[in-house]
């Protein structure tokens, strides 16, 4: 498990934005992963995607690492942000924009506002 934990730690610290997900950002394998990847893609956020379906140790390891029971899991600048419901709420409230701005993550503010308008 130490190797998996080390791999996860390196991934979240070596990338500004990381999404541990089922599938990939171009081919999500579940609705929740698709929703979070879709939000990030629509907002123009550059992010690393890690397919937990490709490695059972990683699939369980990320849950242990974050002490969060589900995937997807979003990390920004090494910090766990949340899963699908939290990312969705943060997107709709503008908190995700604020987090990206604070952390110096490039994103399309107009796209974020379009998401909010479409869900108002």
For residues 11 and 90, what is the distance between their CA atoms, to the nearest angstrom?
23
Calpha distance 46→117 (Å, rounded): 23
Q: What percent of the chain has pLDDT over 90?
A: 97
The model's pLDDT over 82-97, given as tens digits with 9 standing for 90+, comes to: 999 999 999 999 999 9
- pLDDT at residue 120, rounded to an integer: 83
β-strands 73-76, 17-21 pairing: antiparallel
pLDDT at 48 over 60: yes
pLDDT tens per residue across span 56-68:
999 999 999 999 9
Q: Find where tokens 């379906």 sit.
A: 53
pLDDT tier for residue 8 given thresholds of 50, 70 and 90: very high
Average pLDDT over residues 31-45: 97
Report whether pLDDT(1) > 80: no
pLDDT of the residue at 87: 97
Q: What is the mean pLDDT of residues 37-66?
A: 96
pLDDT at 98: 97
Q: Give the model's pLDDT for residue 52.
A: 97
The answer for residues whose C-beta is within 8 angstroms of residue 51's C-beta and 6 or more apart is 21, 22, 23, 24, 29
Domains of the chain: 2-118 (3.40.30.10)
H or E segment at 113?
helix 109-118
Average pLDDT taken over every residue of the chain: 96
């Amino acid at each position: 498990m130490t190797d998996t934990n080390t791999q996860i730690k390196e991934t979240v610290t070596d990338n500004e934005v990381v999404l541990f997900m089922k599938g990939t950002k171009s081919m999500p394998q579940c609705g929740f992963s698709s929703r979070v990847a879709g939000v990030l893609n629509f907002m123009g956020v550059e992010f690393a995607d890690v397919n937990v379906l490709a490695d059972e140790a990683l699939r369980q390891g990320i849950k242990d690492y974050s002490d969060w029971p589900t995937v997807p899991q979003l990390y920004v600048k090494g910090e766990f942000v949340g899963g699908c419901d939290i990312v969705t709420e943060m997107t709709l409230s503008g908190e995700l924009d604020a987090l990206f701005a604070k952390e110096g993550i490039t994103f399309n503010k107009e796209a974020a506002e379009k998401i909010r308008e479409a869900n108002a």
